[in-house]
Amino acid sequence: MPELPEVEMQRRYVDAHALGQEIGGVGAADAGVLSGVTRKDLRRALVGQRFVTTHRHGKWLFVGTDCGPWLVMHFGMTGELLYYGDGAFPTHVRFRVDFRNGARLAFIDPRKFGAISLTDSPSEFLAARRWGPDPTHPGFDREAFRAVLRGRTGCLKSVLMNQRVIAGIGNLYADEMLFQAGLHPEARAADLKRSTVDALFDAMQAVFAASLAVGTDYASLPGQFLLRYRDFAGVCPKCGRTLASAVVGGRTTRYCARHQRRRS
DNA sequence: AATTCCTCCTGATAGC
DNA sequence: TGCTATCAGGAGGAAT
């Protein structure tokens, strides 16, 4: 679930519910999702603080406190947040923030591929990991997209999913933007004409915007989106042909062999 | 340096 | 029904 649009929804969720409340404690931390921090570090950094702002870069979410470090979250494959009060008992809570007003913010992650950390500076945190640019941030235009793809020799899909090239695209959205742009997942990034790269950029922006417009509820997307069909119907929304299936970049890939070309 | 492959963990689902 | 096998939307690290 959590690729760039889903993490953006989590960011908005924090903004809508979890800002401005004094933190009384942190609990239920599963060491499996703690990345470079201990429960004690989290307690010391967060207790007495209030969350005041959020920032998202690719699939990373940063939640800023009024005068402490930022809480860093990555949702892995199954992570999500839940803000709740008395009477709710969510399962798979790997980390929890307890506010003094009685409300709680839980990081729920059954598969435990998520991560919780702390940083004094999101930009330094991202730079230390050599993360690529976020394609939805201001300034990331067609030229910037051409620049990050330049000289890349791998499969187009693998390049798009490489977070150090560009941050935020995972398996599903890579498939979707390639489908929208009519490009084969195994096309070579370096073979693409400039106009094709620009078309892929436009498809990427359109896909993110469309998904956010429906709150990442794929069933509400228009009919021409692969996201609606890849799991159950398995047919191309444009021509009705059975979708092709392959493993590209180590992940299950669906595409329409008729509409998606290797060269363009 | 860039790319590919394996692995971490648990739940849902399919097949017997 | 109950068991087992397979697969799942990510990314770090090792190997190539």
Q: How far apart are CA A67 and CA A25, in angstroms?
A: 16
Q: What does DSSP assign to residue A31?
A: G
Query: Which nucleotide's C1' is closest to A248 (Cα)?
Result: B4
Residues with Cβ < 8 Å from A236, sequence gap 6 or more? Answer: A229, A242, A243, A256, A258, A259
Q: Protein A160 CA to nucleic acid B13 C1', in Å? A: 29
- What is the percent of chain A where pLDDT is above 90? 83
Which of the nucleotides lies closest to A110 (Cα–C1')?
B10
Interacting residues of A77 by C-beta distance below 8 A, sequence separation 6+: A1, A2, A111, A113
How far in angstroms lies nucleotide C13's C1' from the CA of residue A176?
A: 29
Task: Write out pLDDT tens, residues A249-262.
Answer: 889 999 999 999 88
Indicate the pTM of the whole model. 0.96
A62-120 residue pLDDT tens: 999 999 999 999 999 999 999 999 889 999 999 999 999 999 999 999 999 999 999 99
Q: Which nucleotide has the shortest C1'-to-CA distance from A58?
A: C10
Judge whether residue A248 contacts strand B, using its CB and a 7 Å cut-off: no
Q: Which residues of A are catalytic?
A: 2-3, 59, 251
Give the per-residue pLDDT at A261. 87
A163's CB contacts (< 8 A; 6+ apart) are A58, A59, A131, A132
Query: Measuring CA to CA, which residue among A224, A247, A246 is closest to residue A235?
Result: A224
Q: Which residues pair with A118 in a beta bridge?
A: A71
Contact between the CB of A251 and strand B at under 7 Å: no
Q: How many CB atoms lie within 10 A of CB A151?
A: 8
